Amino acid sequence: MSRTPTLPRRRTLVVGTGGIAGAHAAAVAAHAGRADVVCGVDLDPARAEAFAVQHGLAGWSTDLAAALQGTWTASTTGTDDAPSTPVDPRPDLAHICTPPGSHVPLAVQCLEAGVPVLLEKPPALSLAEVDELLAVSQRTGVDVAVVFQHRFGSGALRARALLEAAGTRGLGEEPGVPTGIGRPLVATCHTLWYRDADYFAVPWRGRWEIEGGGPTMGHGIHQFDLLLALLGPWAEVTAMAGRQARDTATEDVSMAVVRFAGGALATVVNSVVSPRQTSSLRIDTERATLEVEHLYGYGDEDWTFTPAPGHEDLAALWITDPAAPRSSHSSQVGALLDAMDDDAPLPVTLAEARDTLELVAAIYASAFTGQVVRRGDIGPGHPFYPRMDGTGAPWAAPTEEDHA
Ligand SMILES: NC(=O)c1ccc[n+]([C@@H]2O[C@H](COP(=O)([O-])OP(=O)(O)OC[C@H]3O[C@@H](n4cnc5c(N)ncnc54)[C@H](O)[C@@H]3O)[C@@H](O)[C@H]2O)c1
């Protein structure tokens, strides 16, 4: 979208300058002239400073409270091109890129300082925590957006438009509206990844109290968030989970069958023990199959569209462009800057992210209790509301000997 030159150039903070922070810096850099990361904040000063130097930021800090007021240590390599400090020195956005257990406390600190947040997934460790954050956002009137970058590739946008055009996201086709691809009937959503023992040697990985879960919460969440964005509200889930091979407290595999409010049935598989890695999502509607297969991000070339026999003319609905935006932090940051310019809610909204987190909680609740869980079942007083492991995982937690 073209923007008028009078729109403000946004100044952002990156909080947590570890692995994923570089994708945020690159995403902002991809929108040069519209936004700049001005400061990197980390508990580890060497890491914060190195990040500032690497990305040519104005400064770095170990003190989030000060950075939220626009005060930081000047970087030796800050870019001359950075915008001058405005009348209000507070940044326009804080990207929170720390481990999951710190997401809500840090986001609350930003909101209380009046600074909107772009929060890495998963937004919170539990539904109780996400509700606490929603309440602070509503009271302060400051937005929280959550990173679910797979919603922003052109293939997902096109698929969503086709599903919405026929009124297929659970609402049924409207009389007189062209039928298009028809209602979604069946879906598969598989995140089959491989993470070895070294990956889990990092102290915060594989622990309920810091990660909030295993591949359901931390890995497959990307792909089934996209499934929810395409198919609309889920209605009920039945699931199993296991700790097949890794010395973690959390699961390393989960499998769920989900019924959507619109009637579609989907399988959702989340694994970190699968040597041939793939992320795949397939939706069969009445008259076409929409499918994407990739690993950590897709382009148009990763999607296929297959009309049902006798409906070959529907192929004209699926026009791909290899140069179209991929699913990436950069695509989401572009959409977020558009929303800021338009004074619209920042995508993906916390309320939308809550729906995805509710499915995570329901998968664990079903897997650990053997019950079918319906949307809305998990609220205050339910054991899976304050903790994703609720009544406790049915496998023993790893012992010191396991780690010896
Ligand atoms: N969207 C994606 O595709 C994607 C990919 C990878 C990771 N992530 C998410 O990004 C987050 C971070 O993951 P990572 O792999 O970059 O972790 P990491 O361990 O590499 O980096 C985390 C950084 O945060 C710093 N930190 C921790 N607590 C802090 C605090 N209270 N204040 C300031 N700094 C603090 C640490 O010192 C470290 O530098 C996680 O929530 C993860 O799930 C998202």
CATH code assigned to 10-150+332-349:
3.40.50.720
Question: Does residue 19's CB lie within 6 angstroms of at least one atom of ligand 1?
Answer: yes
Question: In terms of Cα–Cα distance, which of 107, 122, 128 is closest to 211?
Answer: 122
Helices of type H across 170-214: 208-211
Cα of 380 vs centre of ligand 1, distance in Å, is 29
Q: Which atom of ligand 1 is nearest to the CA of 329?
A: 1
What does the pLDDT read at residue 204?
A: 81
Atom of ligand 1 nearest to the CA of 204: 19
> Given a cut of 50, is residue 171 above it in pLDDT?
no
Query: What whole-number distance in Å separates Cα of residue 51 and Cα of residue 55?
Result: 6
Which is the closest atom of ligand 1 to the Cα of 148?
1
**42 close to ligand 1 (CB < 6 Angstrom):** yes
Round to whole Å and give the CA distance between 387 and 216: 14
Which of 120, 216, 272 for a ligand 1 pocket mutation test, highest count of atoms within 8 Å of Cβ? 120
In short, whether 213's Cβ falls inside 6 Å of ligand 1 is no
- pLDDT tens readout for residues 137-165: 999 999 999 999 999 999 999 999 999 88
Evaluate whether 322 touches 302 at the Cβ level (below 8 Å).
no
State pTM to two decimals. Answer: 0.94
- Per-residue confidence (pLDDT) for residue 51, from 0 to 100: 98
Q: How far is the CA of 16 from the centre of ligand 1 (A)?
A: 6
Beta bridge partners of 186: 265, 284
Type and span of the H or E element at 251: none
The per-residue pLDDT for range 250-278, each reduced to its tens digit, is 999 999 999 999 999 999 999 999 999 99
Secondary element (H or E) of residue 132: helix 127-140
Fold identical between 10-150+332-349 and 151-305+354-374? no
Q: Retrieve residue 21's tokens.
A: 């922070």
**Dist. CA 39–CA 29, nearest whole Å:** 13
Q: What is the DSSP string of 367-399?
A: HHH---EETT---TTSTTTT-TTTT--SSPPPP
Could you tell me if the CB of 98 is within 6 A of ligand 1? yes
Greater confidence, 78 or 236?
Answer: 236
The verdict on the CB of residue 100 being under 6 Å from ligand 1 is yes
* CB within 8 Å of 324: residues ≥ 6 apart: 153, 154, 155, 299, 300
Structure tokens at 332: 């989401």
Domain residue ranges in the chain: 10-150+332-349, 151-305+354-374
Q: Which atom of ligand 1 is nearest to the CA of 16?
A: 24
Contacts of residue 189, Cβ cutoff 8 Å, sequence gap at least 6:
220, 223, 224, 226, 227, 266, 267, 268, 269, 280, 281, 282
Q: Tell me, what's the pLDDT at 202?
A: 85
Higher-scoring residue by pLDDT: 12, 403: 12
What is the residue-wise DSSP string for 72-93? Answer: -EEPTT--TTSPPP-SS-S-SE
Average pLDDT of every residue of the chain: 92
The answer, yes or no, to whether any atom of ligand 1 lies below 6 A from the CB of 41, is yes
Q: Which helix (H) or strand (E) holds 62?
A: none
Instruction: Check if 102 has its Cβ closer than 6 Å to any atom of ligand 1.
Output: yes
CB of 268 shorter than 6 A to ligand 1: no
Q: Give, as one character, the DSSP assignment of residue 33.
A: T
Over 60: is that where the pLDDT of 31 sits?
A: yes
Answer whether 95 contacts ligand 1 (Cβ < 6 A).
no
CATH class of segment(s) 151-305+354-374: alpha beta
Q: pLDDT digit string (tens) for 198-209?
A: 999 988 899 999
